[in-house]
Structure 1
Amino acid sequence: MIKITKLEAELTGKVDKLMMENESLKAQVDLLLNKIYGRSREKGSYLDENQLALFNDEDLNIFNEPEIASDPNSEEPEMVEVIKKKRKSKHDNINNTVPIKEVECFLEGEDCQCEWCNSELRPIGREEVRREIEYIPATLQVKVYIRHAYECPTCKADGEDVIVKSKTPKPVIPKSIASPSAVAWLLHQKYEQYMPFNRQKSEWKRAGIELSRTTMANWAIKVSKDYLAPLYESLRKELLKNHILFADETTVQVLKEKDRKPTSKSYMWLYRTRDYIDREIVLYDYQATRGSIHPKTFLADFKGFLHSDGYDAYNDLPNITRVGCLAHLRRKFHEAIPKGDAPVTASKAKEGRNYCDKLFNLEKKWHSLSTEERYKKRQTKLRPVFEAFFTWIEGVHVLPSSLLGKAITYAKNQKEYLMNVLLDGDLHLSNNLAERSIRPLVMGRKAWYFSTSTDGALSSAITYSIIQTAKANGLDAFKYLTYLFEQMPNTENFTDESVMETFYPWNPDVQAKCQ
Structure 2
Amino acid sequence: MQHMMEQFILARHRMFGASSEQASSQGRLFDEAEDLAAGSDASQDVAPLPPATKGDGKADNKPGRGKRGPLPSGLARVDVVHYVPAAERTCPCGTLMVAIGEDVSEQLDLVPMQVRVLRHIRKRYGCPGSAHAPITAPLPPQPLPKSNASADLLAMLLVVKFIDGLPLARFESVLARHGVTGPRQTLARWVICAAGVLQPLLNLMRDALLEGAFLHVDETVVQVLKEAGKAPTSNSYMWVQTGGPPGRPVVVFDYDASRGGQVPVRLLHDYRGYVMTDGYSGYSELMRTDGIDQLICWAHVRRRFVEAVKVQPKGRRGLADEAVALIGKLYGVERNHKDTGDDARLLARQTLSVPALAALRIWLDKTLPGVTPKSALGTALSYLRDDWPRLTRYTERGDLPIDNNRAENAIRPFVIGRKAWLFSDTVAGANASAVIYSVLETAKANGVEPYTWLRRVLRDLPAAKTVDDVEALLPWNVKDMHAPDLTSDMPG
Alignment TM-score > 0.5, same fold:
yes
Q: What whole-Å deviation, never above 9, does each CA across 1:370-422 have from its counterpart, x for those lacking one?
A: 32332233233222221221232122221111110110111112112102112
Q: What whole-Å deviation, never above 9, does each CA across 1:1-47 have from its counterpart, x for those lacking one?
A: xxxxxxxxxxxxxxxxxxxx33x333322221111111133335785
Q: 1:511 aligns with which of 467, 479, 490?
A: 479
Deviates more, 1:346-355 or 1:91-100: 91-100
Partner of 2:119: 144
Per the TM alignment, residue 311 of structure 1 is displaced from its structure 2 partner at its CA by: 0.7
For residue 292 of structure 1, what is the amino acid of its counterpart?
Answer: G
Residue segments in structure 2 that go unaligned for 5+ positions in a row = 61-66, 484-492
Residue segments in structure 1 that go unaligned for 5+ positions in a row = 1-20, 71-75
Residue 328 in structure 1 maps to residue 300 in structure 2: yes
Q: 2:351 aligns with which of 380, 389, 392?
A: 380
Residue 94 in structure 1 maps to residue 71 in structure 2: yes
For residue 71 of structure 2, what is the amino acid of its counterpart?
Answer: I
Partner of 1:43: 22
- Whichever structure has more helix as a proportion of its residues is 1
Query: 8 Å contact 1:46–1:361 — kept in the other structure?
Result: no
Paired with 1:284 and 1:149, the residues of 2 have a C-alpha distance of 46
Q: 2:397 aligns with which of 424, 445, 463?
A: 424
Partner of 1:262: 232
Residue 105 in structure 1 maps to residue 80 in structure 2: no
Query: 8 Å contact 1:254–1:266 — kept in the other structure?
Result: yes
Partner of 1:31: 10
* TM-score normalized with structure 2 length: 0.87
Paired with 1:245 and 1:375, the residues of 2 have a C-alpha distance of 19
Paired with 1:459 and 1:36, the residues of 2 have a C-alpha distance of 34
Q: 1:463 aligns with which of 409, 414, 436?
A: 436
Partner of 2:258: 289
Q: 1:251 aligns with which of 207, 221, 231?
A: 221
- Alignment CA distance shift 1:223-1:350 (3 Å): same
Residue 433 in structure 1 maps to residue 409 in structure 2: no
SS in 1 for 2:219: strand
State the number of aligned residues: 471
Per the TM alignment, residue 186 of structure 1 is displaced from its structure 2 partner at its CA by: 0.5
Residue 392 in structure 1 maps to residue 371 in structure 2: no
Q: Note the 1:444-463 alignment, pairs <5 A.
A: 444-463=417-436
For residue 302 of structure 2, what is the amino acid of its counterpart?
Answer: R
Query: 8 Å contact 2:216–2:404 — kept in the other structure?
Result: yes
- Alignment CA distance shift 1:414-1:190 (3 Å): same
Query: 8 Å contact 1:50–1:432 — kept in the other structure?
Result: no
Aligned-residue identity in percent: 31
SS in 2 for 1:475: coil
Partner of 1:224: 195
- Alignment CA distance shift 1:424-1:286 (3 Å): same
Paired with 2:200 and 2:180, the residues of 1 have a C-alpha distance of 31
For residue 181 of structure 1, what is the amino acid of its counterpart?
Answer: D
Paired with 1:467 and 1:58, the residues of 2 have a C-alpha distance of 19
Per the TM alignment, residue 152 of structure 1 is displaced from its structure 2 partner at its CA by: 3.1
Q: What whole-Å deviation, never above 9, does each CA across 1:327-377 have from its counterpart, x for those lacking one?
A: 111111111114653898x42111111111111112322323332332233
Paired with 1:349 and 1:390, the residues of 2 have a C-alpha distance of 14
Q: Note the 1:112-261 alignment, pairs <5 A.
A: 121-125=96-100, 127-128=102-103, 130-153=105-128, 156=129, 159-225=130-196, 227-261=197-231
Q: 1:474 aligns with which of 435, 447, 455?
A: 447
Deviates more, 1:263-272 or 1:358-367: 358-367
Residue 314 in structure 1 maps to residue 283 in structure 2: yes
Per the TM alignment, residue 180 of structure 1 is displaced from its structure 2 partner at its CA by: 0.4
Partner of 2:273: 304
What root-mean-square deviation, in Å, do the aligned CA atoms of Structure 1 and Structure 2 show? 2.9
Paired with 1:452 and 1:491, the residues of 2 have a C-alpha distance of 32
Query: 8 Å contact 1:232–1:466 — kept in the other structure?
Result: yes
* TM-score normalized with structure 1 length: 0.84
SS in 2 for 1:57: helix
Query: 8 Å contact 2:122–2:137 — kept in the other structure?
Result: yes
Per the TM alignment, residue 196 of structure 1 is displaced from its structure 2 partner at its CA by: 0.4
- Alignment CA distance shift 1:393-1:144 (3 Å): same
Query: 8 Å contact 1:378–1:422 — kept in the other structure?
Result: yes
